[in-house]
Structure 1
Amino acid sequence: MSRDLHAGIAQLTGAITLAVLVSGVAAPLIGRWLDRHGGRGLMTLGSVLGGLAVLAWSQVRSVAQLYLVCGVLGVASAMVLYEAAFAVIVAWFDATRRARALLAVTVVAGFASSIFLPLTGFLVDLYGWRQALVILAAGYALTSVPLHALAVRSRSAPPHVNRREVVGAALRERPFWLLAAAFLTQTGAVSVMGVLLVTYLIALGHAPVFAASVAGLLGVLSVTGRLVTTGLQGRWSVALITAVMFGVQGLAAVLLPLVGRSTAGAVAGVVLFGLGFGVGTIARPALLADRYGTGAYASLSGALALPITAAKAVAPLLAAGIAQVAGYPAVMGAVAAACALGALSLIAYHRNAHPTPAAA
């Protein structure tokens, strides 16, 4: 793609960053729509839009066209990915079944990169990147469009909640901003590790194949962390479990510069960090629904998604700058500090964890 479009890697990466940012900007509007109308129509339309955008991607001839397509992909992502799916699940399942439903979705989705990264590489090697995108677009549309159209229920009776009042009250209270701080900082840390871990392990002296293989554990370990978190919810609060997971991630970031030059040390550090890699994804909807109820869940989730998505997009760029100026140990220190701040924010949230009247 870089060769065909006469573009550098930074330009291509910028297109993906644009898609992520557009998704975050669209999230509040998408959330309000989901609260009012449910997910069937929106997610079906988003699947159609996503399939067409990937198909259009296969035909781009310039960097400008690529950026335009990625902007459309960002809108489609906001309509069909985790935030929208969680809004449907929260509205669909009662509190006793919600945790298992969220777990089921995130466990399956947790293997997406493990499946589609090698599959995409295989298709590119076999057919080239343009034809690979055509195949992926067709496969996505043929599965996702009918599933959303036929399997997602319409929202038959939205709860009688003044959503604007619920959102406004949440934005004025400390616990909401503690949640925002917790998930913003941890998302930034996870994003940095996801982007820079392979490069860092190579800088520590490991072979590229080993570095890539160890970093690949993050996807599998994210599923493990979600299973552990869901299993412990009967004994401890979600906020405290998640705080512990974030704290373990911070410890891993501290240990990697100290022990990461050895094979065992690198694996141990990645395993510890990986256990919390996907916990934020499953904890955020659970905490929001428990405190604020389901009537305005998607609107609140959309409000949180905007800064969190921005952190996801910007944090790796900042970390790359820190690495150039101060080295990777400084990056690991920043990651550890972010995880610690996330853990402390959740502990403070737990102390204020009393459901609002709308959730009762």
Structure 2
Amino acid sequence: MAGLTRATSLGNSKASAAIVSALGLTQIVGYGTLYYSFSILAPGMAQDLGLTLSQVFGVFSVSLFIGGLSATYIGRQMDRIGAATMMTIGSPLAAFTLAICALSPSVTVFAAAIILLEVSAGMVQYQAAFATLVENNPRSASRNITYLTLIGGFASTIFWPISAALAVHLNWRDIYLVFAGLNLFLCMPLHFWILRVGKAGSSADPTIRARETVVGAIASHRRRRVMILVSFAFAILGFTLSTILAHMVPMLGNLGLGAAAVVIGSLFGPAQVLSRLINMIFGKSLPQPALAVLSAVLIALGVLILLMTGHWLPGAVAFAICLGLGSGINSIVQGSLPLYLFGSEGYGAITGKMAASRLAVSAGAPFVFAALMENIGLSFALALNACLGLVSIAAFIAVAAYAKASGTPTD
């Protein structure tokens, strides 16, 4: 019996590693094609559609807002039919909406397609991927989330240069058709394979599955209060981060860094990966709430560095590295902090509610930041961003205090 248990454990470990690797690849493509490429392609979209750059980012902000509102529903459906099933449905939907964007004959069709694109993004990006890992093995999910984000952190490093290189030879419509093919012919088969592997593993001994359940650290009478506070903290930090990520390369270029802007922006991805690697090796003893505080501190510090150093090249490099380190940890805690605080029961619905508030608040970030830069100036926009980062630090410190007061989760 012991031998059978060890064999089962080894098989589950290999299956988990394969699932994490497959999800890592789909997250690179998902974030690269559905999010990071937009800031590179937005100027071409504006020129082609007869819009200002602010108007294009306004459409993007509306799509992020509606996509955020859909996160709660998507989270409930992940609990009902399975997160891997939602990802398998989301990949062809993302491909379809990318194609509609590429073929859009008018601003109205383009705007509708961009909105639907962000809804499909919620079905294939981290929210769904984290839920898939919790669904597959709750006990190892926190560790696997770190492994997944370690791989997914290369999305910006890979797709900012790819998008910029493609934009030299193709227009934005052709590039979106290429991206549609990646989602349809690469991501969808991988998500379907993960779905099949998950179904094969669901026949395991139910008593073993019951023992794999994770119990949260927060007492039941405090859950609602802490959930609101965590959602607020993630929402404010998400706004701070989204304003920068949506404009990072063009913003650095406007500071006078020229061609170096793309290179500096590309440091963001490796810094994300580095933070996750450090956390994987040395962060096992650090509680998830403390990691959340650290992520907010690094993001706010990065913005302050850019604000103080302007076009100074070493300062811009330090900004990109700090922002990447903070963003890398933030991606981990978006999945692992709710699991630590509230447990694995109803994980999809819980993270769906949090994602809804985070994405809805972050939705206005690209438009607001673009409007502030154009009408008031980059320095004021960065100063406001830094202040919001400080608010998120305070909120996460409060979450850590609640978690400490409630004690340690039961294994």
Q: Tell me the percent identity.
A: 26
Q: Aligned pair in 2 of structure 1 residues 130, 351: CA closer, same or farther (>3 Å)?
A: closer
The range that moved more, 224-233 or 348-357, is 348-357
* Alignment correspondent of 1:281: 331
Residue aligning to 1:102: 145
Change (3 A) 1:13 1:339: closer
1:324 Cα deviation (Å)? Answer: 5.1
TM-score, normalization by structure 2 = 0.76
What is the CA–CA distance in structure 2 between the aligned matches of 1:129 and 1:315, rounded to whole Å? 22
Change over 3 Å in CA distance of 1:262–1:356 after alignment to 2: closer
CA offsets per residue over residues 16-52 of structure 1, 9 Å max, x none?
3233222211110111111122123322111121112
Which of 16, 32, 39 lines up with 2:60 in the alignment?
16
Offset at residue 87 of structure 1 (A): 0.9
* Partner residue of 2:237 out of 186, 211, 235: 186
Q: Write out per-residue CA displacement over residues 205-244 of structure 1, whole angstroms, 9 at most, x where no aligned residue.
A: x332123321222222122222223333322212113312
Q: Distance in 2 between matches of 1:258 and 1:12?
A: 29
Change (3 A) 1:171 1:310: farther
- CA separation in 2, counterparts of 1:237 and 1:299? 23
- The amino acid across from 2:243 in the alignment is V
1:85 aligns to what?
A: 129
Range moving further from structure 2, 54-63 or 224-233: 224-233
Match of 1:149 in 2: 192
Which residue type is aligned with residue 80 of structure 2?
R
* Structure 1 Cα separation of the partners of residues 222 and 120 of structure 2: 27
Please give the TM-score of this superposition, normalised by the length of structure 1.
Answer: 0.86
Instruction: Using the TM superposition, give the Cα deviation of residue 183 of structure 1 relative to its aligned residue in structure 2, in angstroms.
Output: 1.2
Report the count of equivalent residues: 351
The structure that is helix-richer by fraction is 2
Return 113-122 or 304-313, whichever deviates more.
113-122
C-alpha separation between the residues in 2 aligned to 1:170 and 1:321? 42
> Could you say what secondary structure the match of 1:295 adopts?
coil
How far 1:273 sits from its partner (Å)? 2.7
Structure 1, gaps ≥5 residues long? 160-168
- Whole-Å separation in 2 of the counterparts to 1:5 and 1:170: 52
Amino acid aligned to 2:83: G
Q: Aligned AA for 1:268?
A: A
User: Which residue does the alignment assign to 1:341?
Assistant: 391
Q: CA RMSD, aligned part only?
A: 3.0
What is the Cα deviation at residue 358 of structure 1?
A: 10
Alignment counterpart, residue 176 of structure 1, candidates 227, 247, 254:
227
Letter in 2 for 1:30: I
Provide closer, same or farther for how the CA distance between residues 266 and 139 of structure 1 changes in structure 2, counting only shifts above 3 A: closer
- Aligned equivalent of 2:276: 226
| Deviations 1:262-284 (CA, angstroms, capped at 9, x unpaired) | 32233223322321023211112
Match for 2:176 among 106, 128, 133?
133
Conserved 8 A contact 2:295-2:330 = no
Distance 1:68 1:322 in 2: 25
Asked if the contact 2:61–2:367 (Cα under 8 Å) also holds between the matched residues in 1, the reply is: no
Return the alpha-carbon distance in structure 2 between the equivalents of residues 71 and 325 of structure 1: 26
